[in-house]
Amino acid sequence: MRRLLTFLLLLLLLTPNFLAAAERPNLLIITVDDMSCDSVGVYGCKLADTTPNMDRLASQSLRFNHAHVQVGNCMPSRNVMFSGRYPHNNRVEGFYQVKDARYPVLATIMQSAGYFTAIRHKVSHSTPYSPFKWDKILDKTDDGKKAHVKDPASYGVSTTQGIRAAANVDKPFCVVINIGDPHKPFHAQARNGDTIPDPHSPTKVFSPKEVPVPGFLFDDPVVRKELAHYYSSVRRADDAVGQILAALDSSGKANETIVMFLSDHGMALPFAKTQLYHHSTRTPLMVRWPGVTKAGVVDNYMVSAVDFLPTLLDVTGIKHPKGFDGRSFEPLLHGKSQDNRDMVFKEYNENAGGSRDPMRAVQTRKYLYLFNAWSNGERIMATATTGTPTYRRMAQLANVDKVIKARHHLYQHRVVEELYDIEKDPDCLVNLIKDSDHQQPLGDLRTALLGWMEKTGDHMLDVYKQRDTADAREAYVLAKEKEADERRKKKRKAQRNTKNKGKNTKNKAGKNKQS
C-alpha cells in the first residue's frame, strides 16, 4: 500500500498539470497593434530592414506560416486570444464592456495557478470588462509618470518592472506587453496626411518612393506617403520588440521564459483592418520555448487566436477550465503533427463606433470564403479605415478611374458572398463565387462554416441557413443594430446618471460648506 501511495505521489508530481508554480516556465506575450503579417521581413516583406528584431526572434523561434486571428479589430481580437472563446461566445463582439462575464480568462487562470500577472497598454481591451484584476499595470515609468505608447524604450522599462515585481513575490511571471505601434497615429503623420515632427522617431524612417504598395491598394503618391508613415511605425514597433527582449535578457530569465509574439490584426488601411480578408487576419505568430521549440523552424499547420489560451495552459502545465472553443497546439511546439489543422474560422460583428456589420468566414491554405450578412447593396460598411488619406484618395479617384471605382464600391457595399483563391490571389481581388470551376470547394466551405456555426452556437446560424433570402438577412442585421443601439443608449444613460450624481454631491458639499 505504501509503495502504491508513493507511486501515485510521484505520478502526480511528474504530471504537467500538477507542476509546482516555481517549476513552471515564465510567459512573455508580446503583441503589436494593427500590423500586417507581410510587413515582417521573414514573412516576405518587400521592404528591406523593416523588422530586424522580429526577424532575429523568428530565427530563434518556431514560426507559424498560416496563423490567423479571428477578428480584424482590436478588442474583440484580443478577447479571443485571452479567453479561448469565439466572440459570439465570450460576447465581446465590439468595443464594449461585458460586466457579467463569468468565464475564466488568461489573467485569472494564471493567478490561480500561482503566476504573477502584469500588462502594459491595451489594458481595457484585453479582458471582457475593466478594471480587471491584474497584479500590476505597467503603464507608468519608474518615476511614476505615464509611459508614452509610442516610446520604444518605455516597453523595455515596463518589461523590467513586470519581471522584477514577480521576483519580489517569488512567483513565475505572465507578462503581456502590447506595443502601441503601428497603430495610428503613424510616425510623424498628421490627420490630413502631412508629415509633422515626432519626438519618438524609429531607428529607421522610410520614404514614399521605396515602400511597397500592397496589391489590395493602388499605387498613388498619397498612398505611398501614408505607407511610408506606416512602415516607419512598423520599424518603431520593432525597436520596442528589441527593448523588450533586451530587458528579458538582462533579467537573467530568458532561458526560463516562453516568448510568444504576434499582431492583433492587419494594417489600418482599406481592405485590411476591420475586415476578414487574408491580410486582415494573418498574423506573424512566433513561439520561442527554450529547450523545446527548434530555432528557425517554420510550421505550416493552421492555428488561430482561439487556440492561444489552451496552448499557453498546456505549456505551463495548468489544467484547462471547461468551455474553450479553441484547442491547444502544444504538440506542434514539440515538432509533432496534429489532425484537423487545415482551416480556421473567423468572424466580425461590430466596429469601435458600435456599427453592426456582421460577417463570417472560413479559410484554408488555398481558399477563403466570406458571408457578409449586412450587405444589401445600399448599406455602407462603417470601418476603421475611412478616415485615412488613402481612403479619401480612393474615394476621389473613384470619380475618374473605373477600376478604383469598382474597388471603392466593393469597399463600401461588398456582396453577400465572396470566394478567393488565396494561393493565387492573396490580395482577394477576384471573387470566384460564381465561377463554375470553383463550385465544389465553395460547397465544401459553405458546409464547413455551417458545421462550425452549429457546433459553437453562433447566433448567425439561422440567417446563414437562409443566406439566399434578402429579407431574412435584413431582419437579422436590423435586430442586431437595434441591440447595439439599445446598449449604447443604456451606457449613455448610466454616464449621465453618474455625472449628475457627481454634480449633486458637489453641490451638496458646497451647501454644507456655506452653512
Give the residues of the chain that fall short of pLDDT 70: 1-22, 498, 502-515
Q: Let me know if residue 18 belongs to a domain.
A: no
Kindly give, in sequence order, each residue whose CB lies less than 8 Å from that of residue 397, ignoring residues fewer than 6 positions away.
218, 220, 404
Upper half-sphere CA count for residue 345 (Cβ side, 13 Å): 24
CATH number of the domain enclosing 450: 3.30.1120.10
Q: Length of the chain, please?
A: 515
Cell 440567417 locates to 463
Q: Is 483 within the bounds of a domain? A: no
Residues 220 and 81 both lie in one domain = yes
Q: What is the pLDDT of residue 502?
A: 65
Q: How far is CA 227 from CA 155, 395, 404, in A?
A: 24, 17, 18
- As a three-state string, the secondary structure of 493-504 is HHHHHHHHHHHH
Dihedral Cα 350, 302, 426, 404, nearest 10 deg: 0
Cell of 417: 458572398
DSSP H or E run through 176: strand 173-178
Same domain, 223 and 370: no
- CB-side exposure of 132: number of CA atoms within 13 Å? 27
pLDDT of residue 514: 54
| CA angle, residues 27, 36, 241, in degrees to nearest 5 | 40
Is residue 74 one of the residues assigned to a domain? yes
- What is residue 22's three-state secondary structure? helix
Q: Are residues 107 and 164 in the same domain?
A: yes
Q: Which of 331, 348, 328, 329 is nearest to 275 (CA)?
A: 348
Local structure of 174: helix, strand or coil: strand
Q: What's the pLDDT score for residue 11?
A: 40
pLDDT digits (tens, 9 = 90+) for 201-246: 999 999 999 999 999 999 999 999 999 999 999 999 999 999 999 9
Q: Is residue 124 part of a domain?
A: yes
Cα 226 vs. chain centroid, distance in angstroms? 22
Phi and psi, residue 433, nearest 5°: -60, -30
Which tens digit of pLDDT belongs to each residue from 120-137? 999 999 999 999 999 999
State how many domains the chain has: 2
Domain end call among 472, 489, 505: 472
Q: Whole-prediction pTM value?
A: 0.93
Q: Is the peptide bond between 182 and the residue preceding it cis, with omega within 30 degrees of 0?
A: yes
Query: Has residue 479 been placed in a domain?
Result: no
Q: Which three cell numbers stand for residue 196?
A: 509633422
Q: How many CB atoms lie within 10 A of CB 446?
A: 17
Range of the domain at 155: 25-334
Residues 285 and 379 in one domain: no
Residues 440 and 409 grouped into a single domain:
yes
Q: Are strands 173-178 and 26-32 parallel, antiparallel or unpaired?
A: parallel
Nearest residue to 68 via CA among 337, 348, 331, 381: 348
Q: Are residues 274 and 363 in the same domain?
A: no
Q: Which residues pair with 140 in a beta bridge?
A: 146
Euclidean distance between CA atoms 166 and 138, whole angstroms: 12
Tell me, yes or no, whether 316 and 390 share the same domain. no
Q: Which three cell numbers, joined as nine digits, stand for 335?
A: 515538432
Q: Output the pLDDT for position 290.
A: 98
Co-location of 318 and 400 in the same domain: no
Give pLDDT, residue 12.
43
Q: Is residue 504 part of a domain?
A: no
Q: Do 178 and 295 share a structural domain? A: yes
> Does residue 198 share a domain with residue 222?
yes
* Residue 447: inside a domain: yes
Same domain flag for 285 and 356: no
- Which CATH number is 126's domain given? 3.40.720.10
